[in-house]
């Protein structure tokens, strides 16, 4: 089955700086790569996703890049704000809709 690895496990950044989280996947048939944000005590919520026919996608301060050849994808958050502090999960799935999640990255934005 799919194996998704995520790095780093924790990330502390100064407010206004950028944060980058990287994930690799094992199943070359995976074609859907969402990112979820989970605030403390809350449910995971989708913040951005990308499909295999696209190399990059941007939504305001958040961007995701995908390298299918290398089987890795990354989340970029620019101009970080305190409300960006949360756990971020990457995930991958193929046409069977089965989402496999990475272990998560705890992001702390220092004011």
Given the rule CB under 8 A, which residues bind another protein? 1, 32, 34, 43-46, 49, 89, 93, 95-104
Shortest gap between Cβ of 67 and another protein (angstroms)? 21
CA-to-CA separations, 25 to 17, 52, 107, in angstroms, rounded: 27, 13, 21
Distance CA 22, CA 8 (A): 7
Q: Please identify, using beta-carbon distances, which residue of 17 and 54 lies nearer to another protein.
A: 54
User: Which value, in Å, is the radius of gyration of the alpha carbons in the chain?
Assistant: 13
Q: Please identify, using beta-carbon distances, which residue of 14 and 43 lies nearer to another protein.
A: 43
Distance CA 92, CA 10 (A): 20
Distance CA 104, CA 78 (A): 19
Shortest gap between Cβ of 99 and another protein (angstroms)? 6
Shortest gap between Cβ of 100 and another protein (angstroms)? 7
Q: Please identify, using beta-carbon distances, which residue of 25 and 89 lies nearer to another protein.
A: 89
């Amino acid at each position: 089955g799919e194996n998704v690895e995520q790095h780093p496990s924790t990330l502390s950044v100064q407010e206004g700086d950028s944060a980058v989280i990287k994930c690799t996947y094992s199943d070359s048939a995976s074609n859907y790569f969402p990112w979820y944000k989970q605030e403390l005590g809350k449910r995971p919520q989708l913040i951005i996703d990308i499909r295999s026919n696209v190399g990059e996608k941007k939504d305001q301060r958040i961007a995701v890049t995908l390298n299918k050849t290398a089987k890795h994808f990354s989340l970029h958050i620019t101009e970080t704000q305190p409300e960006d502090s949360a756990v971020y999960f990457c995930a991958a799935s193929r046409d069977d809709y089965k989402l496999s999640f990475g272990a998560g990255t705890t992001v702390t934005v220092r004011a």
